[in-house]
Structure 1
Amino acid sequence: MINLSFFPSRQLAWYMAKMFLLRTLAVIAALVVILQTLDLLSESGKIFAHAGNGDVELWRYVSLRLPQLVAFVLPFGALLGTLIALATLNQNSEVVSMKAAGLSAHQIIAPLILASILLAGVSFAFNERIVTRASETLADWQEAEYGKIPRDTGIRPNVWVRYNEDLVLAREVRAAGAQTALFNVTIYDRTGETLQAILNAPRAERKGRGWLLHDVTRFDVTTGQTSRASTMDWGEGLEPLQFTLAKVKADQQTFPTLRHSIAQLKASGRPTADLESGLWHKLSKPLSIILMPLLGAIAAFGLARSGQLLLRAVVGMALGFAFFVADNFSLAMGNFGAYPPLVAAWAPFLLFLLIGETVLIRTEE
C-alpha cells in the first residue's frame, strides 16, 4: 500500500531530521576546527609582527574569523551530513524498510529537506547579524596590519561621480550631509559621448539642492578658450551622499543596507554589477543548503550489499562539489559583468535543483 502523505510518520521524520542535523553540526565543527587552525598558523606571524600584540589579539582574530569560516563550511557540512546520514540508513537496511512500507524516495528525504530549510534560515540570519559585522571589523583591522584601527577622519580622496552626462572628480571630500565640501573639483562637461568643456574649481560647497563652485576655470574644448568666474551655481539635484559613499563590499553589509547602497551608487553613475550579484547571492547561498539532501540522496538508494554504496556516496559528493564550483564560477562571471546579476546568483541553484530532481526520479524508477 502506497503512503500518500508527503512526510513519513512523525517519529520517523523526527528521527531522520535529528540524525541529519547532528551529523551536519558535527561535520561543521570538525571542518571549522581544522580550517581555523590552518588559518591561524598562517596569520599568527602577521599578528605578532605588530609591536604589543599578544594572546589577546590572537583570540580576537579567532573571534572575528570564526563566523566567516562557519558561514563558508555550512553548505559543505550539510552535504557531508546528508551523505553520512543516508549511507548509514542504507547500510542498516532502514531505507529498504521504508520503501517496503510504501514510502517514495521524495518522502524518505522530506524530513531532511525540512531540516535543511531550518538550517538555511539560521544561516541567513547568522550572515546578516554576525558575519557582516565580523567581516567589516576584520577587514579594517587587516588594513591596519593588525595594529590600532585609525579613527575615521571623514575625508575621502579621489571620488568619481556621474551627474547626468557629466563626469565629476572630487580629489577630496570632507564632512557629510549638508556640510559636505568638495576640494579640487574637476567637471568634464559632456554632451552624449563628446567632451564640451572642462571645469576646475578649488572648492565647492552645498547650496540649496545644488552646489556653489568657487574660483571656476572653464576650458572650452571646441574653441580652445579659457574663461574664469568667481562663483558658479552647478549640480542641481546632485546629492552629497553620492560623494560620501564609502567603498562598498557585499560581504560587509546586510541585505537592506547593501540594497540601499547599490541604489545610491547607481544614482552616482558607478558600476554595481558585482554588488548586485553579491546581493542576490546573500539569498541563493543559504538556500543552497536545501539542495544538499537532494544531491546527496543518491547515497540512500540501491542495495548496500551490492558493493556500490561507496560509489553512490562518491557520486553524491561529486554532485555537491560540482555545484560549489559552478556557483563560484557564476558569481565570478557576475562580478566581471559577463553574467547578469540574477543569472549569476540563481542559475547554478536552479540548474542543480533540476539535476538533483532528475537523479532522484531516475533512482526511484
Structure 2
Amino acid sequence: MSAAASFFPSRTITLYMARLFLTRTFAILIALVVVLQALDLLSESGRILAYSGNGEGEIWRYVGLRAPQIVARFLPFSVLLGTIITLTTLNQNSEVISMKAAGLSAHQVLAPLMVASLGIAALSFAFNDRIVARATATLDQWQKVEYGPLPIDRGDRSNVWVLDGDDLIQARQIKGRGGGAVLGGVSVYERTDGRLTAIVTGETARLDGDAWRLENARRFDVATGIATRLASTQVGPGVRPDQFTLATVDPDGLSFRALAVAIDDLKAAGRPTKALEGALWHKLSGPLSSVLMPLLAAVAAFGVARSGKLFVRAVIGMALGFAYFVADNFALAMGNLGAYPPFLAAWAPFLLFAMVGEAVLVRTEE
C-alpha cells in the first residue's frame, strides 16, 4: 500500500465522512443563502420597484445577481459549521473513538474532510472567478442607475470622472482600452478659477491625436444661458485613455486574470497598486480558507462525549474559525491602508491559523 493511501482511512470510511461533511456543509449554505437573501430583499425590493416599470422580473434579476455574492461570502462559514456538526455527530456516536482504536491518528481522521474541503476551495475559486465577479460588476452598474435599464454591457466601466486642469470630464460609460477606448455619455464641465462657465455634452468620444473627438455635441453657456449645437468638437487635450479606463478598478468585479492585467496597466501608468495586489492575492487565499476549517474545528472531534465537554469543544472550534475571519478582514484593511505588504495582508491570517490549528491538534491529540 502506498504512503498516500495508508494516510487515509479505508475507502468506505473516507467516502462516508466526506459525504457527511459535504451534505451538511451545502445544507447549511442553502439555508443561509435563503434566509439572508430574503432579509436583503426586504431592504432592496422597495428601491427596485421605485423605478417606473420595474416588477417581478427585476426582483428575480436582483436575486440572480445578489445570491452569488452571498454564496461566496458565507461558503467558508458553512464549511466551518458543517465541519463542527459532522465531527460532533461522529464523536457522539463514538465513531471517532472506534477509528482511533483501530490505530488511526487525529490527522488520518481529518484527512477525508481536508481533501473534501480542498475540492470546495477549488470550486469556490472557479465560482468566484466566473460568476461572482460578473454578477458583482453588473449589480454595481445597475445600482448606479438606481435599478433602471442597464446602459452598458458587462465588463465596461461606468460613471468615471477625470480632472483636466480646472475642467471636469464625466464619462457615463467606457468601452475598450487604450487607443481604442470609446467614451459614451460625455459631459465636460468647463471652469475658470473654480467657477462653472460652460457645459459641453456629447454622445460618444474617441481619441483623435492628443485630444478626444466629441460627436453630436452641444455647448451650454452658463453666463448667457444659450445652448449651441456642435457637429463635433475636440475636448480634453492631453487626457490619456488610461485616465478613464484605470480611474476606477473594482477588484470584486474583476476576475483573477482581469485584475492582474489591470494591475499591470496601473503600474505602467505609475499608479499605486498595493491595495489591488492584496485583493489579487486574496482571490487565492480566500477560497483556500475552506481548507483551514476542518483543522480549526478538529477540537470538536476528539475527547469523550460522555465527559460533558463536547459542547465546549464545539464552541472552541467555532471561536477559532470566527477568529480567523476577523483576523482576515483586519489584515485586508491594514493592507488597503498600506500598513501591511500585499502578500502579508492576504496570506498572514491563513498561515497563522494553520499553525494555530496544527498546534492545538498536535498538543491535544497527537
Is TM more than 0.5 here?
A: yes
Provide the aligned C-alpha RMSD in A. 3.2
Identify the residue that residue 219 of structure 2 maps to in structure 1: none
Rounded to whole Å, the distance in 2 between the matches of 1:332 and 1:160 is 28
Rounded to whole Å, the distance in 1 between the matches of 2:240 and 2:97 is 66
Identify the residue that residue 109 of structure 2 maps to in structure 1: 108
Rounded to whole Å, the distance in 1 between the matches of 2:166 and 2:266 is 14
- For residues 50-89 of structure 1, the aligned pairs below 5 Å read 50-89=51-90
Identify the residue that residue 340 of structure 1 maps to in structure 2: 341
Measured at CA, do residues 155 and 352 of structure 1 come closer, stay the same or move farther in structure 2, by a change above 3 Å? Answer: closer
Amino acid at match of 2:21: F
Measured at CA, do residues 243 and 60 of structure 1 come closer, stay the same or move farther in structure 2, by a change above 3 Å? Answer: closer
SS of alignment partner, residue 6 of structure 2 = coil
Measured at CA, do residues 100 and 45 of structure 1 come closer, stay the same or move farther in structure 2, by a change above 3 Å? Answer: same
Rounded to whole Å, the distance in 1 between the matches of 2:71 and 2:161 is 36
Note the alpha carbon deviations across 1:55-100, whole angstroms, 9 max, x for none.
Answer: 1111111111010111111000000000000000000000000000
TM-score of the two chains, using structure 1 as the length reference: 0.79
- 2:162 paired with 1:159: yes
Rounded to whole Å, the distance in 2 between the matches of 1:288 and 1:282 is 11
Amino acid at match of 2:55: G
Q: Which runs of 5+ in 1 are unaligned?
A: 162-166, 186-203, 214-233
SS of alignment partner, residue 103 of structure 2 = coil
Conserved 8 A contact 1:280-1:342: yes
Note the alpha carbon deviations across 1:313-346, whole angstroms, 9 max, x for none.
Answer: 0000000000000001111111111111111100
Rounded to whole Å, the distance in 1 between the matches of 2:158 and 2:78 is 43
Identify the residue that residue 133 of structure 1 maps to in structure 2: 134
Amino acid at match of 2:288: L
- 2:109 paired with 1:122: no
Identify the residue that residue 265 of structure 1 maps to in structure 2: 266
SS of alignment partner, residue 53 of structure 1 = coil
SS of alignment partner, residue 5 of structure 1 = helix
SS of alignment partner, residue 271 of structure 1 = coil
Rounded to whole Å, the distance in 2 between the matches of 1:24 and 1:124 is 17
TM-score of the two chains, using structure 2 as the length reference: 0.79
- For residues 142-153 of structure 1, the aligned pairs below 5 Å read 142-151=143-152
Conserved 8 A contact 1:299-1:312: yes
SS of alignment partner, residue 338 of structure 1 = coil
Amino acid at match of 2:95: E
Measured at CA, do residues 157 and 38 of structure 1 come closer, stay the same or move farther in structure 2, by a change above 3 Å? Answer: closer
Measured at CA, do residues 83 and 151 of structure 1 come closer, stay the same or move farther in structure 2, by a change above 3 Å? Answer: closer
Conserved 8 A contact 2:161-2:244: no
Note the alpha carbon deviations across 1:100-129, whole angstroms, 9 max, x for none.
Answer: 000000000000000000000000000011
Amino acid at match of 1:335: N
Equivalent pairs counted in the alignment come to 318
Conserved 8 A contact 1:158-1:169: no
Q: 1:279 deviation in Å? A: 0.6
Moved more, 147-156 or 306-315: 147-156
- For residues 194-343 of structure 1, the aligned pairs below 5 Å read 211=210, 240-241=241-242, 243-343=244-344
Note the alpha carbon deviations across 1:216-247, whole angstroms, 9 max, x for none.
Answer: xxxxxxxxxxxxxxxxxx98xx9744553351
Amino acid at match of 1:277: G
Conserved 8 A contact 1:180-1:206: no
Q: 1:19 deviation in Å? A: 0.5
Identity %: 60
Q: 1:270 deviation in Å? A: 2.0
SS of alignment partner, residue 7 of structure 2 = coil
Q: Which runs of 5+ in 2 are unaligned?
A: 191-205, 213-236
Amino acid at match of 2:113: L
Rounded to whole Å, the distance in 2 between the matches of 1:64 and 1:243 is 26
- For residues 178-197 of structure 1, the aligned pairs below 5 Å read 178=179
Conserved 8 A contact 2:22-2:82: yes
